[in-house]
Structure 1
Amino acid sequence: MWSSSKRLQIGPCLVLLLIGLPGLAAAQELEISSSPTPVGSGARAAGMADAFVAVADDATAASWNPAGLVQLERPEISVVGAYNYLMESFGADYHDEFDSRHHADKLALNYLSLAWPLPVTLLGRNVCLSLNYQQKYDFNRAFSFDFNRSSAVGALVNDFMHFDFVQKGGLSTITPAAAIEITRRLSIGAAFNFWQPTFLSDNSWEQTVKGRSTTFAGATIALSGYYTKERYEDFTGQNMTLGLLWSPLDRLSIGVRYDTAFSGKADYRRSELYGLMYLSSGLISMTPETVRERREVHFPDSLALGVAWRANDKFTLSMDVTRTDWNDFYVKTGDGERRSLVDFSNLENAWTRTRFDPTYTVRLGWEYVFLPKEPEEKLGRLWTLRGGVFLDQEPATGKSDGFRWPGDNGNGRPDNFYGCALGVGVQLGQRVNLDAAWQLRYGPGVNSDLIRGVSGFEEDVIQQRFLLSTVIYF
């Protein structure tokens, strides 16, 4: 999964920050290090730019289109590892000190599965079962920046501020799945996603924000500091991934995947400390605050449509389109208030909430298998080459800087990210498959919602993703 630099500003990707030092506000959303749009797993699919809904013919089908599991002919075990790298370049109008670059990376288990086609048919139909572990979201992210400002209200006031932000954690699922063949050309499947802590993932995330400021107001000098730590622990919930795979022609397949909306619950804890000291008088004040409550995080549903054309036994071309409505992405606090996880606006207040346009992800991928020239020829190694391109959108408010009329909460237009992918695979005999993939995702001038209160803030985002997977057949 991608780590979206923004998104979520909760993340389930950022459950965000509220920087309380004077004049700068960043929100309380969840920052997801991966694309917030539901994406499956596996290096083979990643090498095809994740255009896999209408292909889905290996054990990772449970995450792409469960209906594709019936295409498996033998039991198989798959293991996928992933390395995610995120680089962000900050910039803002009139603030050269804001220009900076930030990096975050993580190496993790991406997917683990056991798929078992039943040796007997059910009412004359093929059936396949599987059990899967999948990392859904990566929340790891870190950045820091300086911000200076001046104002003249009576006396000249100069503020010199520094902020540090660190977010860690992620979400994963344990997923049993099943698929059945309805006819020779039509199959359906379902995956049941249990979002809960396991020995592989604690399904928790936390954010830490630190800030310090030196303020000069005439002859008065003040030092202030801010610290907040928010933690969501033991996130639990359930949803389903439903799939359909139809082959109207021998070389054409159409796939549909639907991820149901769901609400998960977590134990929430926030600790804050604000300190202020006046050097001239020696006056010191400390303001601590601690909040503990049970919170509910709601994720929206998502619909994906895929088409794959197998031109011949060697070449396959596939395309996916995914739609997600982020107006239903929110956190419900302990007092029952619903807050958007994109901009933390109050969803009950029509004057302050933003209406977000749905996001679309369009993926185009291909796969070429180097089959032997003669059908009788046997190769110890069978090589495959893959590639693809994609457009991936993230939700955004589209709010303008400066004065806005009441009720003007932005146009809700999403940010655009562009990417490409390359992959290679090799089958060793008839028992082992090894696949590797690389993806590049680039967002120019995006995430203006990330740091609020800074005129003209935006960033350029570069994300790279490396995956290595193995499949063992029995």
Structure 2
Amino acid sequence: MLNFAKKSTVLTVWAASLCLCGTAWSNPHGLSSSGHWALHLPFDLEPSEIGGGARALGMGNAFVAVADDVRAATVNPAGLSALQQLELAADLSYSSYEMEYMDTQAAVNNIGVGPALDEISTFDDTVTGLSFAGAAIPIIPDRFTAALYYRSSAVEANDSQNSGPQSVFSSLNVRQQNISEKSIDEYLKNSYGAAAAFKYSKMLSFGAGVSLETLNADMREMWTTNNFNGSTPYSSLSYGGRIEGDDTDFGFNLGVMVTPISGVSTGLSYRTGSSFSIDYTSMDMDCDSLGHCQNGEEKSQAAFDTPDIWSAGASWQPAADWLLSAQADWVGYSALADSTTTGITLDEDIDDEVILRFGAEKTFAMVNDMNYQLRAGLFHIPDHDGFAALDSDRMHYTLGGGMTWKKQIKVDLGTSFSEDTFNSVLSLTYSL
């Protein structure tokens, strides 16, 4: 279990693999290594599915035309113009995932001789922590609003495979054992941001924000081949690598909110991705039957990029107690091919894609100044992992609910689930 305060999309859930092999062999999936590294984290790439809060998640994150609280600073900063008083907010998130990934070490080393390992393996873990905290205040009531926020997402996972010892040349009594180990001890992304919105008229609002993005990473892998003469070890070969360190980047987002008529709103936003460079060390060790070992080590940099995102959406209130929303996100997934796949030959293009989102909210007015809400939604994440053998195409379904007391205190719960991921967010919002 990993706490976001130590390191927290999201996230919005991927698998990881590094390939450090010095030789490219034929293999069933046609993969080859250039002697450097490869990394895939599909479960942590933007858009973060937990960063918009519980209400947004319950509505399928179709929220760019709805954003009307402090979390608008990350979704569509123009929505901050809807705030009429000081607002404080915090989110607690829980994510569980069981994601398939391509074990590139196994794919490159399965040559038909010796014990084979599964080329498609699984990462699974859970992450809990504070994913958002923010405050917004109208500087000029009904005209200019500013906000400060903190957002966090994290990934943690590990996997290992062990096959053998298995006979390779039975006539010579030669046996072999192959071991593949991978771990993501830390992958923590934090955002520290400020945003502001200007209400030009009753119909039109503009917003913009800047953020300091940080990444802390500690990821490692190791491949080991042990050779035996009967039951006696006589040689071993190990190679692996470690990505460890931190980096920072600056980002910005822009937003527009248009309300042409009462009950109808449209929103447009743009958010830049981030680029990070982390220290990377590769190593190899070759030992003979006498225990004499030769070691090698090489240092370089590993790049991590997340895509730019354009979002456009509309919301409609057909009645005072109903809210419907729809949204399309253009996600620049092709940026992943520029950095996070260096060192591995992919057999499938990583293209820019569109994510479609839909959501609905029903409000029940109760006595004692208390209102209750029920929410539902869905969205579709297209395949973008770069491997034909993997299918990261997923349909996600969302549910949520909340209660509002005297329009001051709001407590919301949102969930999303697919065949291999589950996200939930508990949000508290207080207006003074």
Give TM-score scaled by structure 2 length: 0.81
How far the C-alpha of 1:327 sits from its partner, in A, is: 2.7
Runs of at least 5 residues in structure 2 that lack an aligned partner in the other structure: 1-8
Alignment of 1:237-386 (within 5 A): 237-264=249-276, 266-270=277-281, 272-278=283-289, 282=290, 284-291=292-299, 297-329=304-336, 339-342=338-341, 344=343, 355-372=349-366, 378-386=367-375
Mapped partners of 2:341, 2:206: distance in 1: 33
How far the C-alpha of 1:155 sits from its partner, in A, is: 7.5
Mapped partners of 1:230, 1:260: distance in 2: 24
Q: For residues 340 and 353 of structure 1, do their structure 2 counterparts lie closer, same or farther at Cα, with a shift above 3 Å needed? A: farther
Percent of paired sites with the same residue:
20
- Tell me if the contact between 1:20 and 1:226 (Cα under 8 Å) persists in the aligned partners: no
Question: Residue by residue, what CA displacement relative to the aligned partner does 1:88-139 show, whole Å, maximum 9, x if unpaired?
Answer: 3679999996387642111121001001122446xxxx1111001112x423
Question: Residue by residue, what CA displacement relative to the aligned partner does 1:372-420 show, whole Å, maximum 9, x if unpaired?
Answer: 4xxxxx42432111111110124233457xxxxxxxxxxxx98311111
Q: For residues 212 and 297 of structure 1, do their structure 2 counterparts lie closer, same or farther at Cα, with a shift above 3 Å needed? A: closer
Mapped partners of 2:69, 2:205: distance in 1: 15
Q: For residues 88 and 38 of structure 1, do their structure 2 counterparts lie closer, same or farther at Cα, with a shift above 3 Å needed? A: closer
- Tell me if the contact between 1:359 and 1:414 (Cα under 8 Å) persists in the aligned partners: no
Residue identity matched to 2:138: P
How far the C-alpha of 1:329 sits from its partner, in A, is: 3.4
How far the C-alpha of 1:320 sits from its partner, in A, is: 1.4
Does 2:149 align with 1:132? yes
Q: 3-state DSSP class of the match of 2:64?
A: coil
Alignment of 1:406-417 (within 5 A): 415-417=392-394
Question: Residue by residue, what CA displacement relative to the aligned partner does 1:144-174 show, whole Å, maximum 9, x if unpaired?
Answer: 223568877x989754312221111211111
Query: Counterpart in 2 of 1:179?
Result: 197
Does 2:422 align with 1:464? yes
How far the C-alpha of 1:342 sits from its partner, in A, is: 3.6
How far the C-alpha of 1:300 sits from its partner, in A, is: 3.3
Query: Counterpart in 2 of 1:452?
Result: none
Does 2:75 align with 1:68? no
Residue identity matched to 2:254: L
- Tell me if the contact between 2:59 and 2:376 (Cα under 8 Å) persists in the aligned partners: yes
Query: Counterpart in 2 of 1:170?
Result: 188
Q: 3-state DSSP class of the match of 2:38?
A: coil
How far the C-alpha of 1:41 sits from its partner, in A, is: 2.3
Q: For residues 139 and 220 of structure 1, do their structure 2 counterparts lie closer, same or farther at Cα, with a shift above 3 Å needed? A: closer
Does 2:151 align with 1:144? no
Residue identity matched to 2:299: V
Mapped partners of 2:256, 2:430: distance in 1: 26
Mapped partners of 2:327, 2:98: distance in 1: 27
CA RMSD in angstroms comes to 3.5
Structure 2 counterpart of 1:194, from 212, 237, 256: 212
Residue identity matched to 1:18: L
Residue identity matched to 1:211: W
Q: 3-state DSSP class of the match of 1:397?
A: coil
Q: 3-state DSSP class of the match of 1:62?
A: helix
Q: 3-state DSSP class of the match of 1:165?
A: strand
Q: 3-state DSSP class of the match of 1:370?
A: strand
- Tell me if the contact between 1:435 and 1:468 (Cα under 8 Å) persists in the aligned partners: yes
Mapped partners of 1:96, 1:20: distance in 2: 18
How far the C-alpha of 1:3 sits from its partner, in A, is: 3.3
How far the C-alpha of 1:140 sits from its partner, in A, is: 1.8
Mapped partners of 1:65, 1:362: distance in 2: 17
How far the C-alpha of 1:242 sits from its partner, in A, is: 0.8
Mapped partners of 2:310, 2:163: distance in 1: 41
Paired residues, what number? 402
- Tell me if the contact between 1:139 and 1:205 (Cα under 8 Å) persists in the aligned partners: no
Mapped partners of 2:187, 2:274: distance in 1: 20
- Tell me if the contact between 2:116 and 2:178 (Cα under 8 Å) persists in the aligned partners: no
Structure 1 counterpart of 2:20, from 13, 18, 29: 18
Query: Counterpart in 1 of 2:224?
Result: 212
- Tell me if the contact between 1:423 and 1:438 (Cα under 8 Å) persists in the aligned partners: yes
Q: For residues 429 and 399 of structure 1, do their structure 2 counterparts lie closer, same or farther at Cα, with a shift above 3 Å needed? A: closer
Q: 3-state DSSP class of the match of 2:20?
A: coil
How far the C-alpha of 1:366 sits from its partner, in A, is: 1.0
- Tell me if the contact between 2:145 and 2:197 (Cα under 8 Å) persists in the aligned partners: yes
Q: For residues 342 and 36 of structure 1, do their structure 2 counterparts lie closer, same or farther at Cα, with a shift above 3 Å needed? A: farther
Which shifted more, 38-47 or 57-66?
38-47
Which shifted more, 182-191 or 203-212?
203-212
- Tell me if the contact between 1:239 and 1:260 (Cα under 8 Å) persists in the aligned partners: yes
Runs of at least 5 residues in structure 1 that lack an aligned partner in the other structure: 197-202, 331-338, 347-351, 373-377, 401-412, 443-461
Question: Residue by residue, what CA displacement relative to the aligned partner does 1:394-452 show, whole Å, maximum 9, x if unpaired?
Answer: 4233457xxxxxxxxxxxx983111111111111334311111221133xxxxxxxxxx
Mapped partners of 1:119, 1:390: distance in 2: 37
Mapped partners of 1:307, 1:290: distance in 2: 52
Residue identity matched to 2:223: G
Mapped partners of 1:215, 1:275: distance in 2: 11
Residue identity matched to 2:296: P
Q: For residues 182 and 353 of structure 1, do their structure 2 counterparts lie closer, same or farther at Cα, with a shift above 3 Å needed? A: farther
Q: 3-state DSSP class of the match of 1:195?
A: strand
Give TM-score scaled by structure 1 length: 0.74
Mapped partners of 1:30, 1:357: distance in 2: 15
Does 2:138 align with 1:117? yes
Q: 3-state DSSP class of the match of 2:288?
A: strand
Residue identity matched to 1:188: F
Mapped partners of 1:440, 1:176: distance in 2: 31
How far the C-alpha of 1:69 sits from its partner, in A, is: 0.7
Mapped partners of 2:83, 2:402: distance in 1: 18
Mapped partners of 1:147, 1:51: distance in 2: 46
